[in-house]
Chains A and B, each alone.
Chain A
Amino acid sequence: MESKIKFVQGNEACVEGALYAGLEFFAGYPITPSTEIAEHLSSRLPRKGGRFIQMEDEIASLCAIIGASLTGHKVMTATSGPGFSLMQEALGYAVMAEIPCVIVDVQRGGPSTGIPTHVSQADVMQARWGTHGDHAIVAFTASNHQDVFNMTVEAFNVAETYRTPVVLLFDEVVGHMREKLEIPEPGQIPLVDRLRTSVKEGVDYHPYLPREDGRLPMSDFGGVHRYNVTGLYHDMWGFPSDNPSVVHGLIRHLVDKIENNANLIARYKKFHLDDAKTVLVSYGSAARSALHVVQHLRGRGQKIGLLELQTLWPFPSDIIQDVCNRAEYVVVVEMNMGQICQMVKQAVDCPERVFLANRIDGVFITPTDIRNILRLVAGKGV
């Protein structure tokens, strides 16, 4: 019997979450700082009858898990920035063909090979717009190991519910840091399996005809329904089509099924926000320092709070508006040049009250870094 309480790296917490969620197939290619995920799964998956394969590159890794998803399995790959860049074409394929899959990006500094062993959160926009064409995407993040576990389970649940790729944007600090993880009992967190068609053998099954609620029941490859899957615009049979109404209907469906459910997909945590005049917005490991600042300044009687985002995409504009429009200042804390800060500015009524507290030098952002910005914002000088 494995102990329920572990002292592990964030990457292992992700592995535990994936196994808890029912991961059956993993394909990957080693890259710092995500490699531990592949290493642990190469050992853990076959023990439960699952399968692990180290592919020839990240392109092949994402392609392989898409293939394995179609045979009816829960699938995942893991990488970091350069590998995530290579995956973008196949990511678009998973969007278009509506293939449930989970892609972990443990972020490091970029562009290019960048700074492999140091922290960054600069892949936020790559997750959103890395693949070409209009589309919607789901991306989650987490700031501590219990949440890495929980959001990994959520990623599988959302991927299977909406038939979509889900990106888990972790970062080097969360991935490599060790802390406590308590693994919930089986059944404690509900798990979602994909909807499978009830259409009987011999009766026409339309793989790409959405039900009234927008969901598309699947049929496993190897089962009684044979159908076509393609990255081209396609009709309800999955057959290529350039009919304008088919094209229009499909792109609307792909975007609406995610964007119309943005509030259902939104995960976040509120800390001391009820009376907050200064609101910090943060996510991932940066939110740890932000929370530290909030707790410290609350101790001194300052009305400051934190909104920690766990869903980055679809962007949770409603909750941002709700929390930030009452604030005097909003400070977005992140380790990039303002990728989420821009989104917050777009969402709020007074973008001139939104400021950025960031670091872009591969060094983890500290509470002092954030406090210095807060003093500047308040006109106090550093």
Chain B
Amino acid sequence: MAVKDYLRERFFPHIWCAGCGHGIVLNSLIRAVEKLGMSKNEIVMVSGIGCSSRISGYVDFHTLHTIHGRALAFATGVKMSKPELNVIVPMGDGDALAIGGNHFIHAARRNIDITAIVMNNRIYGMTGGQYSPLSGYGTLATTAPYKNIDQSFDTVQLATAAGATFVARTTTYHVQQLTDLIRRAILHEGFSVLEVMTQCPTYFGRKNKLGGAVEMMKYMQKATTPIGSKAKQKNPELIERGVFVEKEQPEYCSEYEKIIQRAMASGS
């Protein structure tokens, strides 16, 4: 199938600003699904609220655009009630880790077979540039006019500690890797987290004087390095890209099937 067969052209033009990284994630996501040869009918995309969450409107899957921060809770109901479906949940950094932080760690802990993509632009894009739990110490935002004093989460460490069985990170600059990691995250059986560092030139870029989309993407190229690279040893400040965790562990819905077996065997 061609890429455009996965899009709902009726719903274009999209709402994103020129240069926004969210469109790159959409592109890679569709290429990953295409490579996997999945049927559109077997994919449910569940999203919350934010610029990133609007991605669900543009793809021709079953799509559930929900409320801010709760996408993983809705997705849990979708997946558990029909485990044969593939459930993909794109989220903003605020959506996933501020208001949705509790659902995030619990979905990871359960190891339910959902693919969570955290589109991390380090800002609340949709509401106009307030700081997020991933903005980072010292950054500027409309609600941090004297510089942000909040420390950030490390999404990878958080997901790992919470029990996600596939954890990876890349950026919108590294589109080949992005497509490949989405593909692997979907294939993984269990809770997969992919953090995608992405750019919001309109707010994060402008507030922090980082230039336009091109400059921001070049920055992501320079600021990151493959996991365990020599560059990282020389410069510990570099952010690592790649797969941090990939392990097999009982998946939640499969485990629940066993509960059904046990309950049925115990008679009514």
| A interface residues, Cβ below 8 angstroms from B | 2, 24-25, 27, 43, 46-49, 51, 53, 55-57, 59-61, 63-73, 75, 89-90, 93, 221-224, 226-232, 237, 239-240
Whether A221 pairs with B70 at a CB distance below 8 angstroms is no
Q: A56-B102, A60-B73, A60-B106 are in contact. Are A70 and B80 (CB under 8 A)?
A: no
Q: Is B46 an interface residue (CB 8 A)?
A: yes
Smallest distance from the beta carbon of B33 to chain A beta carbons, Å?
13
* Shortest Cβ distance from A223 into B: residue: B41
Can you give 21 A-B contacts (C-beta < 8 A)?
Answer: A46-B259, A46-B264, A47-B263, A56-B73, A56-B102, A57-B102, A64-B76, A67-B64, A67-B73, A67-B81, A68-B78, A71-B78, A89-B67, A221-B82, A226-B40, A228-B64, A228-B65, A232-B65, A239-B10, A239-B57, A240-B65
Taken together as a complex, chains A and B put the C-alpha atoms of A72 and B77 apart, in Å, by 11
Mostly, the A contact residues are mixed
Partner of B46, one of A48, A59, A67: A67
A66 shortest CB reach to chain B, Å: 6
* A contact residues around B65 at 8 Å (CB): 228-232, 240
- The answer to the question of B233 belonging to the interface, with a C-beta cut-off of 8 Å to chain A, is no
Contact assessment for A93 and B76 in the assembled complex, using a CB-CB cutoff below 8 Å: no
Instruction: Give the nearest-CB partner of A45 in chain B.
Output: B263
Question: Which of A53, A89, A221, A228 makes the CB contact (< 8 A) with B85?
Answer: A221
Complex Cα–Cα for A136 and B229 (A): 59
**A67-B44 Cα distance, complex, nearest whole Å:** 10
- Among A63, A69, A224, A237, which residue has its beta carbon within 8 angstroms of that of B73? A63
* Residues A93 and B67 in contact in the complex (CB < 8 Å), given A53-B76, A60-B76, A71-B82: yes
Q: Which residues in B have their C-beta under 8 angstroms from that of A61?
A: 73
- Verify A59–B77 contact, CB threshold 8 A: no
A71-B78, A226-B63 given; name 14 further pairs at CB < 8 Å.
A46-B264, A47-B263, A47-B264, A49-B260, A49-B264, A65-B77, A67-B75, A226-B62, A228-B56, A228-B57, A229-B64, A230-B65, A239-B10, A239-B11
Whether the pair A67, B74 counts as a contact (CB closer than 8 A) is yes
Q: Which residues of B contact A (CB under 8 A)?
A: 8, 10-11, 40-42, 44, 46, 56-57, 60-67, 70, 73-82, 84-85, 102-103, 106, 256, 259-260, 262-264, 266-268
Among A63, A68, A71, point to the contact of B66 (Cβ < 8 A). Answer: A63
Q: Which residue of A lies closest to B110 (CB)?
A: A53
For B47, give the chain A residue with the smallest CB separation: A230
Instruction: Report the nearest B residue to A59, measured CB to CB.
Output: B70
A-B contact count (CB 8 A): 142
Q: Which 7 A-B pairs have the closest CB atoms?
A: A67-B77, A64-B77, A68-B81, A63-B73, A46-B263, A60-B73, A67-B78
B266: which A residues are within 8 A, CB to CB?
47
CB distance from B64 to the nearest CB of A (A): 5
A70 to B62, CA, bound (A): 10
Contact A59 B73 (CB under 8 A): yes
Chain A residues whose C-beta falls within 8 Å of the C-beta of B67 in the assembled complex: 63, 89-90, 93, 231
Query: In the docked arrangement, what's the CA distance between A237 and B56, Å?
Result: 14
- Given the known inter-chain contacts A63-B70, A66-B74, A67-B46, please indicate yes or no for A227 contacting B264, CB distance below 8 A: no
Bound complex: CA A39 to CA B65 (Å): 31
- Point out the residues of chain A lying under 8 angstroms from B11, CB to CB: 228, 237, 239
Could you say which of A43, A66, A224 contacts B77, with CB atoms under 8 Å apart?
A: A66
Q: Are B41 and A227 in contact (CB under 8 A)?
A: no
Contact in complex: A46, B81 (CB < 8 Å):
no
Q: Which residue of A lies closest to B252 (CB)?
A: A53
Cα distance A330–B57 in the bound complex, in angstroms: 53
| Residue among B41, B77, B80, B260 having the largest count of chain A Cβ atoms under 10 Å | B77
Contact A228 B63 (CB under 8 A): yes
Asked if residues B76 and A70 are in contact (CB atoms below 8 Å), the reply is: no
| CB neighbours of B73 from chain A (8 A) | 55-56, 59-61, 63-64, 67
List A contacts of B46 (CB < 8 A): 67
Of B44, B66, B81, B85, the contact of A24 (CB 8 Å cutoff): B81
Residues of A contacting B76 in the complex (Cβ-Cβ under 8 angstroms):
27, 53, 55, 60, 63-64, 67
Could you say which residues of chain A place their CB within 8 Å of the CB of B84?
222
Residues on the A chain within 8 Å of B268, using CB? 2, 47-48
Contact B263 A25 (CB under 8 A): no
Q: Enumerate chain A residues within 8 angstroms of B75, measured Cβ to Cβ.
A: 67
Q: What is the chain A residue whose CB lies nearest that of B253? A: A51
CA–CA, A60 and B101, complex, Å:
12
Q: Is the CB of B77 within 8 A of A68?
A: yes
**A73 to B79, alpha carbons, bound, how many Å?**
12
Residues of A within 8 A of B103 (CB): 56, 60
Q: In the complex, which of the residues B10, B260, B266 has the most CB atoms of chain A within 10 Å of its own CB atom?
A: B260
CA distance A232 to B66 in the complex (A): 9
- For B60, the closest partner residue in chain A by CB is A226
